[in-house]
Amino acid sequence: MSRAFVNEDATHEPEPRYALPPRESPRFDAAAARALLEGAHIGNTQSAETATGYAWGDPALAPHIEDLIREAEGLGDERMARLGRRYLRAARR
């Protein structure tokens, strides 16, 4: 095989793991909202979407995202608050 198609030195980072309760849990949606923002924060929204079953901007999670924005602002985490606001804009489309 040509070396052009082999990268033996490539490192593949493992997919992030998200702490999610069972889907039937009343806490699942809040945890899913947090996972989506965490995924966006590390630049891997797709992994969070796969883990949660929710797409970025799903309006069902908007109340939980609003809570997370308030939490982030209280902690001075502007990056996470900005991601939350971006999520809400996508939810309104």
Q: From the CB of residue 23, how many other CB atoms can be counted at a distance below 10 Å?
A: 10
Per-residue confidence at 14, pLDDT binned at 50, 70, 90?
confident
**Six-digit token string for 78:** 């502007």
Model confidence pLDDT, tens digit, residues 35-61: 999 999 999 999 999 999 999 999 999
CB 84 within 8 A of CB 65: yes
Q: Return the sign of the alpha-carbon dihedral for residues 41, 20, 72, 75.
A: negative
Q: Where are the domains of the chain?
A: 25-91
Whether pLDDT at 3 is above 50: no
The number of CA neighbours under 13 Å toward the Cβ of 27 is 5
Give the pLDDT confidence score for residue 11 in this predicted structure.
Answer: 58
> What is the model's pTM?
0.84
